[in-house]
Structure 1
């Protein structure tokens, strides 16, 4: 029998709670749901008002992994949705606005990905993101060197950068912006990537060609495009272990000497929130947003 539970006054169906989703640690769907419920206070503000793309892995990372961008069939009528523009015509996407919606979406077994804009202003970004992706044998250690350079470069333009792990191999840098067209943010982000390649020769590449990337850090600026999305802070990732895209301090970035130092799983997050609070909370404060240079 499929269990139905009440979450903040909403009836939510939760299924297959004993199913192992992250085989490296035996992490089950029940544990996944518990993680999202306990991280919700920090997680929800980073999802709210942003259409979510759901990267689903219902049978674990070794099973079928697929994006759901349109509102899935069977979505409860109390889950908020929004119309978004697309080249082929408008579509509707889910908004995760509250705990019941989060638990409903988590039951689909998903990574949560969001654009850099909010539903009320499509294609107008209030956030900049740079995805630092290491090409082997480079690791997150090299990403940290690049992150510090980019942090200082952004500061020179009056923007404050915050860091989180990607939950995979690299780092994401984010900065709050006064709303600006996504195309202009993308162009600025490309300038930063090109300057980083010039400023850190032999370490950074700004072009996507995989042949250029071994031993270097690819500064991916493309996720600022209006149609692109980025893994949200605190989302689990479809990996063998229940890896999390976790906010980190600049002290942790500056001192990182090995990949394991910035690898976090679901069980680490409650303690980090107790110690640090939400390190990305300043991104949610419009008063801290800077103008696009």
Structure 2
């Protein structure tokens, strides 16, 4: 039976703490849980009130990897859940609202993925997202070029963008929006992706077609759809190394000359948070959320 730990008055089972999840880095499950506990202050606001999809990898990234959207069997009754709309009918999903539920979920060994809306108003998106995905031999360096163009274009419409690494190969751009459905935000984002391809034809593609993508950056606008989820800020990814989806400054984006500069592992994030705080914190200021043109 897994040992029980008390977290903010809740009893949480934490299991297999010595299990090595990332052999290349020697990172154990206990160290992964420690990362989430010490990053909770900046991570939790990005999860709170959002239905969470879990991309689970209990035996490490080289083992079985699978998505869990419905409330997992054995979920403690004190973990908050909510009924959310889906095209195939409503479903009940987990909300990670506090440190105890974060540690319970992290013990499942998961990436955290969220929608661009909150459960109190699923009909209105409060986030706009672009997932910039490089097709080899393009890298995150080319993603940074595209991100700078998109930042200026969004600013022209009064929308302030923020950047984070995907924790994989690319870059995510986020912005706070208001007063629009996911369908409307998707329509707007697609329009900007098409504009980016026209402006940077040698660098950008807005369609997912694999044959179009080598050497270019796919500007994925489709994650604004109500059913889609995106890797949350500060989540550790199920990759060969424990890379984290990490907020970055625009100065870093502008100065990105080498792809390896944009790989941040779990030990790096604590230092960055101490230096910068949460670079995405302005997203929580509703006064800065923009109406789409």
TM-score (norm 2): 0.99
Counterpart position of 1:85: 85
Aligned pair 1:150/2:150, yes or no?
A: yes
1:190 alignment partner in structure 2 = 190
Structure 2 partner of 1:206: 206
Instruction: Provide closer, same or farther for how the CA distance between residues 251 and 103 of structure 1 changes in structure 2, counting only shifts above 3 A.
Output: same
Matched with 2:160 is 160
Q: For the residues of structure 2 that align with 1:146 and 1:198, how far apart are their CA atoms?
A: 12
Distance 1:10 1:179, change over 3 A: farther
Q: Is the 8 A contact 2:124 2:178 kept in 1?
A: no
C-alpha displacement at 1:179, in angstroms? Answer: 3.5
Name the CA distance, whole Å, in 2 between partners of 1:77 and 1:180.
34
* Alignment RMSD: 0.6
- Report the 3-state secondary structure (helix = DSSP H, G, I; strand = E; otherwise coil) of the residue aligned with 1:241: coil
1:4 aligned partner = 4
**2:219 is the alignment partner of 1:222:** no
1:180 aligns to 2:147 (yes or no): no
Question: Partner of 2:35: helix, strand, or coil?
Answer: helix
**Distance of 1:168 and 1:287 partners within structure 2:** 32
- Corresponding residue number in structure 2 for 1:17: 17
> What does residue 36 of structure 1 align with?
36
Comparing 84-93 with 12-21, greater Cα deviation is found at 84-93
Measured after TM superposition, the shift of residue 86 of structure 1 is 1.3
Q: Distance in 2 between matches of 1:56 and 1:123?
A: 28
Provide the rounded CA distance (Å) in 2 between the counterparts of 1:163 and 1:142: 14
For 2:231, the equivalent position in structure 1 comes to: 231
* Aligned length, in residue pairs: 293
How far residue 24 of structure 1 moved from its aligned partner, in angstroms, is 1.0
The residue that corresponds to 1:64 in the other structure is 64
Whether 2:130 is the aligned partner of 1:103: answer no
Match of 1:45 in 2: 45
1:291 is aligned to: 291
Question: SS of the residue aligned with 2:291?
Answer: coil
Q: Deviations over 1:116-147 (max 9, x none)?
A: 00001113200100000000000000000000
**For each residue in 1:5-51, what CA deviation from the matched residue of structure 2 results, as whole angstroms up to 9, or x when unmatched?**
00000000000001111121111100000000000000000000000
The reply to whether residue 249 of structure 1 matches residue 249 of structure 2 is yes
**Distance in 1, Cα, partners of 2:126 & 2:25:** 37
Give the Cα separation in 1 of the matches to 2:164 and 2:88: 33
Corresponding residue for 1:274?
Answer: 274
Partners of 1:109 and 1:135 in 2: CA distance: 28
Runs of 4+ with deviation above 3 angstroms: none
When normalised by structure 1's length, the TM-score is: 0.99
Output the CA distance in 1 between the equivalents of 2:251 and 2:66: 36
Unaligned runs of 5+ in 1: none
